[in-house]
């Protein structure tokens, strides 16, 4: 194993907090080599159904020159990742992005529909199923990983940041806010460059990334995203050419999505979620370097 072909930094979460945009921006920097987003190499305890890459496959994305990075948002929710890093003998710098947890829970539900990881389109109803789903019941078909529909648990950041700070030196942790990345993108990227110890890059394309989308036809979307082995084999027989299959699938996929603003939360749901997160928001505010007290307003 070539230790030079391992990550020097990880973007470990949280979901719907700007990590896709950050990954896209940093991938443009000539001194940084990023693996594809959500490669899921670490986090053996996360319960992924998809086959995770081998160490040989993982290292193919990296170079000996520059800094190597990996962005996978569920790493924040892994308890085994810290031992996995120790086993490889590496101490990568850690980047975490946070956002008002009420917004995260709501946005994650929308994303799960787009990812075909959610079969309940009504957020309130999906939210009410969280306890049941943690017991392994009423989970969407082919969901991966199951914890992606634990909306309140995922957006409750305090336990995960507390675990992170106990496992990684604070000097090697960068915690940022999604709103700062969105509203002051250039300055935010400069702060990341300083944290990583790389020179400033002048030519970023800072276009908006991963804006909210809705699915027009859920059944068609499920068929496209998670067709199952039998339907996949049939499709390959009907269209043997791999490139043509990809073009057809992409055409159907994107034509079945539209960019639009997310639906508004009901006042009751918003207040219930604020109450749920309030205590741990206060605790989180005590262990990070910036003020998030407005999350409780």
Residue 122: name the closest of 96, 151, 80 by CA.
151
Cis peptide before 14 (omega within 30 of 0): yes
Q: Which helix (H) or strand (E) holds 58?
A: helix 55-59
> Do 58 and 35 contact (CB within 8 A), yes or no?
yes
Q: Is 3-211+262-296 a CATH 3.40.50.300 domain? A: yes
pLDDT of res. 89:
95
Residue 260: name the closest of 210, 212, 196 by CA.
212
pLDDT of res. 238:
64
pLDDT of res. 233:
64
List the pLDDT tens digit at each of the 297 positions of the chain: 788 999 999 999 999 999 999 999 999 999 999 999 999 999 999 988 888 899 999 999 999 999 999 999 999 999 999 999 999 999 999 999 999 999 999 999 999 998 889 999 999 999 999 999 999 999 998 899 999 999 999 999 999 999 999 999 999 999 999 999 999 999 999 999 999 999 999 999 998 776 666 666 666 666 666 666 665 666 577 677 777 777 766 676 667 666 667 678 999 999 999 999 999 999 999 999 999 999 999
Reduced to 3 states (helix: H, G, I; strand: E, B; else coil), residue 126 is helix
Pairing of strands 9-13, 67-71: parallel
- CA-based end-to-end distance of the chain: 50
Domain ranges of the chain: 3-211+262-296, 213-259
- Evaluated on CA atoms 192, 196, 201, 203, the torsion sign reads negative
> Do 102 and 280 contact (CB within 8 A), yes or no?
no
pLDDT of res. 243:
77
Model pTM score? 0.85
pLDDT of res. 34:
97
Q: How far is CA 197 from CA 66, 165, 231, 264, 295, in A?
A: 11, 21, 48, 41, 31
Distance CA 154, CA 77 (A): 8
Residue 97's DSSP bridge partners are: 176
pLDDT of res. 208:
77
Reduced to 3 states (helix: H, G, I; strand: E, B; else coil), residue 292 is coil
| Residue listed under structure tokens 């992606």 | 148
């Amino acid at each position: 194993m070539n230790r030079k072909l391992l990550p020097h930094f990880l973007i470990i979460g949280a979901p719907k907090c700007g990590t896709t945009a950050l990954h896209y921006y940093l991938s443009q920097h000539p001194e940084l080599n990023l693996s594809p987003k959500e490669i899921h190499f670490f986090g053996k305890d996360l319960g992924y159904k998809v086959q995770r890459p081998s160490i040989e496959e993982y290292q193919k994305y990296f170079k000996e020159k520059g800094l190597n990075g990996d962005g996978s948002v569920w790493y924040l929710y892994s308890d085994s990742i810290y031992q996995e890093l120790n086993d490889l003998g590496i101490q990568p710098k850690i980047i975490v992005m946070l956002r008002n947890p009420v917004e995260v829970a709501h946005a994650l539900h929308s994303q799960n529909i787009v990812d075909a990881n959610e079969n309940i389109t009504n957020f309130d109803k999906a939210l009410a199923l969280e306890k049941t789903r943690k017991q392994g019941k009423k989970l969407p078909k082919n969901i991966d990983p199951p914890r992606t529909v634990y909306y309140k648990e995922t957006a409750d950041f305090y336990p995960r940041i507390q675990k992170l700070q106990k496992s990684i030196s604070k000097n090697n942790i960068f915690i940022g806010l999604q709103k700062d990345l969105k509203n002051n993108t250039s300055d935010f990227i400069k702060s990341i460059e300083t944290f990583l110890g790389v020179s400033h890059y002048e030519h970023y394309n800072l276009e908006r990334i991963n804006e909210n989308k809705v699915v027009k036809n859920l059944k068609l979307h499920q068929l496209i995203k998670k067709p199952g082995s039998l339907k996949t084999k049939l499709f390959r027989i009907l269209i043997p050419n791999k490139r043509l299959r990809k073009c057809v699938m992409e055409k159907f996929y994107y034509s079945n999505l539209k960019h639009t603003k997310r639906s508004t939360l009901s006042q009751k749901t918003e207040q219930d979620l604020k109450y749920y997160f309030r205590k741990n928001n206060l605790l989180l505010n005590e262990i990070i370097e910036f003020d998030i007290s407005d999350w409780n307003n």
